[in-house]
Amino acid sequence: MEQGSTSRLAPSLAPEHDWAAAAPLIRPALRPVGTSGTDGRELQIPAGSTGPGKPIVTVGPAGLPILYVLPGPGFDVVVSIDHLLAWGVRPDQVHAAAMSNLGAWSTGASWLDEVDGHRRVVWSDWGEGLDAARILLSEVRDRLVSDLAPARRILIGLPERNLLIAAGLADGDDEFASMFADYVADRARAADEPIDGRVFELVDGELVQLEGGPSDRESR
């Protein structure tokens, strides 16, 4: 992802300058642990100037950073302190708009699934930059739990921006857990926009790193 112009509109109407134009477009994007930036909460608008150019980063589930992007032709524009100054909004407003847009997209984005005996895998790979970020939505997490019931554990893979993969782990099926972990790690290593090679699970509807399983031996 790069920073740049998203439009040839007059500057006052372009999304990077006008919040009304940006709000319907802005999206969340998960990034690898260690991604640097600022939460923007100490910024004084309109007089603030702390951290110009720094991307706005929110700590997401399992410590995964969330960035915010404006889609553009060929690349996305990463939302930064400069955007907050131009828009005159706070980071929580950016987050709320991004999540609303993600939710609207996710409602119409179908899932693929594969069943092999007692094993079932569900995934999203639309290739529009929003697949992995769907795990941020409570309705998506609830659906995965419902679709993969009565599995003992719900495994989640977020290897790259354009893939969210989930599987139900039955009691004693350590082979499947190991295969799933290997697949997630391989996809992360080969990805153009990797997120994380670890395996996560849903525990009480929340995303956490899988404990006591194959993910413990994997690294990003």
pLDDT mean over 71-90: 92
**Helix runs in the chain, H state only:** 19-22, 81-87, 91-107, 138-148, 174-190
Task: Give the range of the structural domain holding residue 70, as residue numbers without chain letter.
Answer: 19-106
86-140 pLDDT, tens per residue? 999 999 999 999 999 999 999 999 999 999 888 999 999 999 999 999 999 999 9
The H or E element spanning position 115 is: strand 112-116
User: What does the CA dihedral 9, 12, 16, 19 come to, rounded to 10 degrees?
Assistant: -120
pLDDT value of position 47: 57
- Pair 209, 118 in one domain: yes
- Read off the DSSP letter of residue 80: B
What percentage of the chain exceeds 90 in pLDDT? 75
What is the number of structural domains in the chain?
A: 2
- Pair 42, 82 in one domain: yes
Give the integer Cα–Cα distance in Å for 100 and 211: 32
Distances (CA, A) of 169 to 99, 173, 215: 29, 7, 14
Q: Is residue 8 part of a domain?
A: no
Q: What tokens does 152 get? A: 């003992």
Q: Is the pLDDT of residue 42 over 70?
A: yes
Question: What pTM did the predictor assign?
Answer: 0.86
